[in-house]
Structure 1
């Protein structure tokens, strides 16, 4: 029998902390062990790779061992480390049952999800995004349509019980004054700046609609217990918007240079986001926001890589996570979050892997929702990762300009990151929703309750242009076999 080389992990280096295993690797030779049967908790299992027999001892690749014993296994090439994490248990499914907004347009929540401290475990706050929208072909060009242009983006208080999502209350977003488009306090979900944002059209794509300087494309929602307010991440700016509990817009954090392009006197625009954030890809802006429990720091993640220096960066794996000091509203740090490599999946373009939400557990621990564009049986990537920023490199202001830095962050390969001693955030899987057959494309709401219960919800895009036979909103809950804290 021919001997083969096998990658194994030395158990002497194994340490376990909250479900994570870190191990060093070595290469040894051995013959596959034949006639061996395997079981886990009394159930027969078949590892993806058989053990090998070396000098009377059985050795198995750590991924095969971890997966066989019901664990997620993640490899960090930057730190040369393995993370093994116990899998959660699905504990509930809840569906939104609500009247349609119009013919062919469903009601929806799920663009975000947050649980407030002190609330019952089954009560959350959520949002829908900018409102029903789609695309139509006009003379060979796709244009963005808004069939309900007067739709008001809102915050919803929801409750899950008896298999249903119940809407308890609604807080329409509004200004302390008159919105120039609606003629009243309520804002719209229309774009802000002509020539910069995607042009809005009527249902048929024939008439260009008005731009709304206060319009928001809501994607993330965070609560600050310190002052009892919300912060919303918005794709248009990209921006982060400060909002009272009743939905009144207070202020808006925007990139440098944004305020001169939009007349928004009722909502102060604070240009504390770095100017490089103006280079966002349309509809791939500020996707996720979260606040530390002590109200000291706020984090925001972009959905995709910036087009820095150009749209060739749409297939970059580098996404920026920025950290703000909430006492000054100024950036305190910026980190690299590296998306999964699309080449390991089937028919998936790198630019279609995105970040969709986050939970800030503490200053160093975040949960990140990363997904692909597929739904149903075609879905391959719907994961929630716990990321650690404690040793990640602070890149604030360092790789924004190609001329100054040689390469922008978005231009860098894995080798470039290593050459520049840039450590992205470390990642470990805490939920793979594909394994649980979550049917929808857009898991866009994520929440953590009591440190050991995950809740995820999908954004159904109001059912517009849906290819699914069902296009509703569902919230699922999962119990973790450990506590994230």
Structure 2
């Protein structure tokens, strides 16, 4: 209790009271033996570089006619390289479009001989390509990015959408990349099967792991059916998209809810799946439900279409904690999740196609526990100029520097009468962000 100061005048007493109250408040805020905590640093962009327009034919001599298409799409994956400012990146299946021909949308491949490639870049002085490694099969031939199987994948067409191309069981739609310590080998994820792909340091596919029962035959490398069969119900062009690594554990994200039991259910669902995989044992060890945000509040521009929500990248933090890139084409946010807080569904009833309702159809998840989830950064606010399709994310060793990259789809736009690309002008960028704190 405050008592009057006997030696103070009546005019001085209120001032003394204020000083004593302030001192008491400050004393209460300071824990003995500790310093006053500093305010968190603001989030800021520390580097923003654009990948130059390298002609594809100059990078892959096997390409007869690149149709004026430049290197792009390498923002599909991002992983720290051997030196500061170096990154491993990966293309997707290559230049592809979806024009409407005779009233029907078709999947076109303007450069059918293109091989997905692993690319090492340096961002010390702009962007320099240090290595360009086309992915090849056991024979040494490029795998290409063409569709694999009739009935399971989209029908491939030439650039103009008029001629059907042959399927290629070796084709890969690669999306994310990590490198294993020591031997320099890579693991990639693929959207087609979906599959997990083990690749040598020189770009040769060592094995491709696909869902049980897929029956993918004729590939120019070993194919093993080791993944849960339910994964084959992935949505077209929405297979595996995110990949992260910690020692001998891989973390794999399906881009969208499975079409389980059907397309209508998958498009309306907010539940995707994240897997854990033991590299030594070559088997899946965990499967977790991931709940998307409600698209109506996440991105009002897509008019309530929940199917616009996607997982486009993962980054390892610590233990079983991951960063998740959740996005539409307009909004991208990075969330921190903890798989240890979620229920491991592997091998349970939700891996069985006969289960009704399916995981994707559930409106109440109880008693399933979701991994904890909290917002780390809204990229749409911090980097509003960043183009859509932010697909590559990685967290550097200091645990507070986030690097992201976008997939510009090789600048694909329209083609002129001679089949030469009229570039979309969308840049392919690598942006480094100081989060100001550890996630």
Q: TM (normalized to structure 1)? A: 0.74
| 1:88 aligned partner | 43
Post-superposition shift, 1:403? 4.1
For residue 390 of structure 1, give the secondary structure of its aligned residue in structure 2. Answer: helix
Equivalent residue for 2:132, pick from 170, 174, 177: 170
Aligned-partner Cα distance in 2 for 1:469–1:176: 36
Aligned-partner Cα distance in 2 for 1:206–1:469: 22
For residue 134 of structure 1, give the secondary structure of its aligned residue in structure 2. Answer: coil
Aligned-partner Cα distance in 2 for 1:208–1:469: 25
- Structure 2 gaps of 5+ residues are 1-38, 57-65, 415-421
1:458 maps onto 2:412 in alignment: no
Give yes or no for contact 2:69–2:423 (8 Å, CA) kept in 1.
no
Give yes or no for contact 2:413–2:424 (8 Å, CA) kept in 1.
no
| 2:102 aligned partner | 139
Give yes or no for contact 1:104–1:464 (8 Å, CA) kept in 2.
no
1:230 maps onto 2:186 in alignment: yes
Give yes or no for contact 2:122–2:129 (8 Å, CA) kept in 1.
yes
Post-superposition shift, 1:469? 6.4
| 2:52 aligned partner | 97
Distance 1:250 1:469, change over 3 A: closer
For residue 70 of structure 2, give the secondary structure of its aligned residue in structure 1. Answer: coil
Distance 1:207 1:394, change over 3 A: same
| 2:20 aligned partner | none
Post-superposition shift, 1:228? 2.7
Q: Deviations over 1:64-106 (max 9, x none)?
A: xxxxxxx9xxxxxxxxxxxxx9752211100111334344523
Equivalent residue for 1:445, pick from 385, 392, 406: 392
Post-superposition shift, 1:401? 3.4
Query: Which structure would you say has the larger Rg?
Result: 2
Distance 1:211 1:469, change over 3 A: closer
Post-superposition shift, 1:226? 5.0
Q: Deviations over 1:392-430 (max 9, x none)?
A: 1111132133644x31110012xx202xx1111222222
Post-superposition shift, 1:343? 1.8
| 1:115 aligned partner | 80
Aligned-partner Cα distance in 1 for 2:385–2:396: 20
Equivalent residue for 1:356, pick from 309, 312, 318: 312
Equivalent residue for 2:373, pick from 405, 427, 430: 427
| 2:232 aligned partner | 278
For residue 365 of structure 2, give the secondary structure of its aligned residue in structure 1. Answer: helix
| 2:352 aligned partner | 401
Post-superposition shift, 1:107? 1.5
Give yes or no for contact 1:157–1:167 (8 Å, CA) kept in 2.
yes
Q: Which has the higher strand share?
A: 1
Post-superposition shift, 1:323? 0.9
1:291 maps onto 2:245 in alignment: yes
Distance 1:449 1:230, change over 3 A: same
Aligned-partner Cα distance in 1 for 2:131–2:54: 15
Give the 4+ runs in structure 1 shifted more than 6 A. Answer: 466-469
Equivalent residue for 1:241, pick from 197, 208, 212: 197
Aligned-partner Cα distance in 2 for 1:194–1:172: 25
Q: What pairs with 1:335-354 in structure 2 (closer than 5 Å)?
A: 335-344=288-297, 345-348=299-302, 349-354=305-310
For residue 301 of structure 2, give the secondary structure of its aligned residue in structure 1. Answer: coil
Aligned-partner Cα distance in 2 for 1:472–1:355: 21
How large is the Cα RMSD of the aligned pairs? Answer: 2.0
1:106 maps onto 2:70 in alignment: yes
| 2:339 aligned partner | 389
- Structure 1 gaps of 5+ residues are 1-70, 72-84, 179-184, 374-378
Aligned-partner Cα distance in 2 for 1:227–1:478: 30
How many pairs are equivalent? 377
Aligned-partner Cα distance in 1 for 2:394–2:191: 20
Post-superposition shift, 1:483? 2.8
Aligned-partner Cα distance in 1 for 2:438–2:353: 42
Distance 1:468 1:366, change over 3 A: farther
Give yes or no for contact 1:156–1:170 (8 Å, CA) kept in 2.
yes
Post-superposition shift, 1:468? 9.6
Aligned-partner Cα distance in 1 for 2:376–2:301: 25
Aligned-partner Cα distance in 2 for 1:191–1:86: 47
For residue 127 of structure 2, give the secondary structure of its aligned residue in structure 1. Answer: strand
Give yes or no for contact 2:412–2:424 (8 Å, CA) kept in 1.
no
1:329 maps onto 2:329 in alignment: no
Q: What pairs with 1:191-206 in structure 2 (closer than 5 Å)?
A: 191-206=147-162
Give yes or no for contact 1:87–1:430 (8 Å, CA) kept in 2.
no
